[in-house]
Every structure is written in structure tokens, then in C-alpha cells.
Amino acid sequence: MHEYSIVQSLVDSVAAAVGTRTDAVVRSVRVSIGEVAGVDCGLLTTAYEVFRAGTLCENAAMTIDRIPARWECPLCGAAIPRGAVLQCPQCHEPAFMAAGDEIILQRVELEVA
């Protein structure tokens, strides 16, 4: 289970974003997790709840946006439907993943006095 190490990296990323604003309190964190990113959102939430205590994310609720996987033909742009062979039926080109592998910190909200 690597969700703990993802949370560790998440907290580090938040710290880098907060930088020198040491008087600010992080109130919320929003992340995007792709459907085939290899990250389990349930486990990520659990890991976050356990791990955030004592870090600068202690008072920050986390929201996860789940990004569905999308495969497309690189030539004609046709979408390859879910569960189909990952090749364009017209061009016979291997599809590419247009979305679905993101592990991204989108935004944080800081409370400043």
C-alpha cells in the first residue's frame, strides 16, 4: 500500500506551496486522482486522515476529484470506448491515454489573519 507514501509527498508538496507564509493555516487541499493512476481513493483518504495529524495539513480537509480514464486515437482523435481493444478501429493506431493517470495537487486554501 503506497497511499501513505503518496500522502507524505502530498504534505511535502503543500509545504512547498505554502513556502514562507508560516502564519497561514492550510484549510483545504484539493487533489485529482486518475482512475488508472494506481491510487485507491479510499486508502488515500484513510492514509490522509491518519497522517495529517501534526503536519501543516492538520486542519485541512481533503477533496478528491476522480478523473475517469479516456483513451483516444492519436490520428483521428476518436474516443476508444471503455472495455474495447485500445486501438483505433479506423486507423489501427494504438490509442493514447488522454486522461486518467493524474496524481495532482490542484489547489490549497490558506487562512490568513
Partner 1 sequence: MCQDCGCGDTNLVPLELQTRILARNDSTAEHNRQHFRERGIFTVNLMGSPGSGKTAVLEATARMFKNGRRLAAIAGDLATDNDAARLVRAGIRSCAIETGQACHLDAEMVHHELHHLDLEGVEFLFIENVGNLVCPAVYDLGQSVNVVALSVTEGEDKPLKYPTMFAKADLVLLTKLDLLPHLPNVDMTAIRNAIAKVMPDPHIIRMSAQDDAGVDGWVAWLRERRAAQVHEVVSA
The dihedral region occupied by 49, where left means phi > 0, alpha psi between -120 and 50, and beta the remainder, is alpha
Beta carbons within 10 angstroms of residue 14's beta carbon: 19
The answer to the question of residue 91 lying near Zn ion (CB under 5 A) is yes
**Is residue 35 within 8 Å of residue 62, measured between CB atoms?**
no
Footprint (CB under 5 A) of Zn ion, residues 58-87: 73, 75-76, 78
Three-class SS state of 94: strand
Residues near partner 1 (CB under 8 A): 1-2, 5-6, 9-10, 12-13, 17, 24, 27, 31, 36-39, 69, 71, 83-87, 94-97, 101, 103-113
Q: Which is nearer to partner 1, 77 or 94 (CB)?
A: 94
- Measured between alpha carbons, how far is residue 110 from residues 23, 37, 52, 57, 63 in Å? 10, 27, 16, 11, 15
Nearest approach, Cβ of residue 12 and partner 1 (Å):
7
The answer to the question of residue 5 lying near Zn ion (CB under 5 A) is no
Residue 75 interacts, among Zn ion, partner 1, none and using kind-specific CB cut-offs from 5 to 8 Å, with Zn ion
In the complex, the residues that contact Zn ion under the rule CB under 5 A are 1-2, 73, 75-76, 78, 88, 90-91
